[in-house]
Amino acid sequence: MRTNYNNTPISFTTRGIGNPLILLHGFLESKEIWEDFIQELSSIRQVICIDLPGHGESGNISEIHTMADMAKAVKSVLDELNIRKASFMGHSMGGYVSLEFQNIFPTILHSLVLVNSTPQADSEERKANRDRAAALVLKNKRAFVSMAISNLLTPENNKIFKSEIDKIKNRAMEFTTAGIHAAIRGMKIRTDHTGLFAEFSKQKIIVAGKLDPVLDFNTIKNIAKRCKVEFESLPNGHLSYLENKNELMKIMHLID
């Protein structure tokens, strides 16, 4: 299905009836990452999976896709489906978008789940890495996509999940260079929402991988403690939806 935001197509799927759960993918991913979860979850609730701008089958909005742009694109889907209350689960960049959504539309969320994500803004070191990534994707999209996705897992898990990783890479290669570049620039300038996450008074969960090469496990654990968030620890890397599918499914069943 499709709706429009700023004259740009935003692609989504919806299945099931009941309390809506919005699933938001991460950078270089698409709504297909949730396919293995939809059948079971949609038997007990409505499940909506959205392609964020510049990803999957959704178009590009501008040269920089801010987290606010992405959150407003998500809101256009909720408006299309006449949804006024929903739970959100966001993977990595999808978590940043979920937090920005709560910032802009504070009356809609009744659960907020971050998976392999953080409410913190980029550090100066991370911003410099974003600049390098933005330059590389303009130079050689294929090399960037392959390296960026491989870097999300341990070398061992890259071998174990090779066929699944290849599918993610092949899908990402279909995204436009402009869309990938716009997301990198948007993530670099995102707002720190640690305070907002701490103040969110409804159900909130943060899921972290002990071997995540991107986000330091102990840092996320400390953020969870400071923000009084339910903390769920998983044994692998940055792609919990792939590396720890069964454990993540159990957590998804806990979402209000």
Average pLDDT rounded to a whole number, residues 221-237: 98
Confidence at 105, pLDDT banded by 50, 70, 90: very high
> Phi/psi at 58 (nearest 5 deg)?
-90, 145
Residue 95 has what pLDDT? Answer: 99
pLDDT at 245: 98
What mean pLDDT is predicted for residues 247-256? 98
CATH code for the part of the protein at 2-252: 3.40.50.1820
Amino acid at 150: S
Q: What is the pLDDT of residues 17-46, one digit of tens each?
A: 999 999 999 999 999 999 999 999 999 999
Write down the pLDDT at residue 77: 99
User: If you average pLDDT over residues 114-128, what whole number do you get?
Assistant: 98
Collapsed DSSP state (helix, strand, coil) of residue 94: helix
Helix (H, G, I), strand (E, B) or coil at 10: strand
The full set of domain ranges for the chain reads: 2-252
Among 36, 38, 44, smallest CA distance to 12 is for 38
Q: Report pLDDT digits (tens) over 141-157.
A: 999 999 999 999 999 99
pLDDT score, position 183: 99
Q: Summarize the confidence of residues 229-247 as an average pLDDT.
A: 98
Q: Where are the beta strands (DSSP E) in 157-196?
A: none
Distance CA 145, CA 181 (A): 11
Task: Say how many residues make up the chain.
Answer: 256
Q: Tell the residue number behind the tokens 């937090």, with chain if given.
A: 99
The reported pTM is 0.98
Query: Alpha-carbon distance 89 to 91, whole Å?
Result: 7
Cβ pair 200, 112 in contact under 8 A = yes
Q: How much is the pLDDT for 129?
A: 98
